[in-house]
Amino acid sequence: MNAQNESTDVRTQIVTLARELGFDLCRFARADAPEHATQFLDWLDRGEGGEMNYLARNAEKRCDPQQVLPEAKTVIILALNYFQGEPVGAAVAAAVSPANPPKITASTAAPTSAGRIARYAWGDDYHLVIEKKLAFLDDFLRRHGGSQKCYVDTGPMLERDHAAAAGVGWHGKSTMLLNRRLGTWFFLAEILTTLEFAPDPPQKNYCGRCTRCIDACPTDAIRPDRTIISARCISYATIEHRGPLEIEVGSNAFGCDICQEVCPWNRDPAPSHEAFTPRDEYRATPVTDLLRYEQADFSTLFRKNAVRRAKLAGMQRNVTACQEAQTRD
């Protein structure tokens, strides 16, 4: 078997293994500089990264995969669907049926009760779920002579650029990556490897003239040029920002799904993986209970869950803001 055929065979095995591990997509891109490197640096220079100082610390690495892994030749991009049912109401997670999810329409984006949690945080922490899967792929690649860096939005890479280059989807106007089958409801992971594989072609942009995500954002955080003003973003405010809230967060206690819920490509979402099913204790716990929680209670309820990122003080701040917004309304 010549080198090209061997590479093709290994590539096929990687895709097969990724599917067996539960990934919905596995695609390949060259380990080149990301398309929006200059725009990213300009965005940081304008101070629009807010308190996300980690972005600036590794800014140059994010713009050059060779600084992350010398002699890197390929970025393997993996996508994992996380969609789970209706928007959260009074409880930390709603009693949903992942096997028979409802269709998403613009009307579902209108918040009706305080304390919504973004869908991606309803189940197990996606970092922990996906990192275990990446370890199997890393081991497979090492056995074929590769050196790797594996990340789940934890490494210095502009992952959406690499994913777009690999044809996982296209850059939506909300800045989210869009896929015609999965919409925006998916996590991204990437493996930077010294092995060389043929790249996949990029996808066409199917947003057209639609501006629903921009129009629906209650804080005008989304610019028409596909950038986000962090200081105005509800997800940023409720998760990354420390101290008093500087914007209205409405009914969103952790993150925000509004721009995703109005997207036409999310009208008929596919059911997600079991790991992201809301835990029973979330279904039974009103978000307002967090106001009386001590740290031990919070740590127990959100063990191995993404909500811990906001910390107890942040969640109590957010829930209080949601209650105040509901009272005003």
39-69 per-position pLDDT tens digit: 999 999 998 888 888 888 889 999 999 999 9
Q: Encoding tokens for residue 325?
A: 């917004």
Position 96 confidence tier, pLDDT thresholds 50, 70, 90? very low
Domain map (residue ranges) of the chain:
3-81+124-193, 106-119+208-268+279-328
The C-alpha atoms of residue 243 and residue 50 are separated, in whole angstroms, by 13
Least confident of 47-51, 188-192, 235-239, 271-275: 271-275
175-217 per-position pLDDT tens digit: 999 999 999 999 999 999 999 999 999 999 999 999 999 999 9
Q: State the distance between the two ends of the chain, measured CA to CA, in whole angstroms.
A: 69
The C-alpha atoms of residue 109 and residue 103 are separated, in whole angstroms, by 12
Any catalytic annotation for residue 153? Answer: yes
The dihedral of CA 38, 257, 292, 112: what is its sign?
A: positive
Catalytically annotated residue among 32, 153, 200, 297: 153
Burial 147-174 (b: 16+ CB within 10 A, else e): ebbbbbeebbbbbbbbbbbbbbbbbbbb
The C-alpha atoms of residue 325 and residue 329 are separated, in whole angstroms, by 6
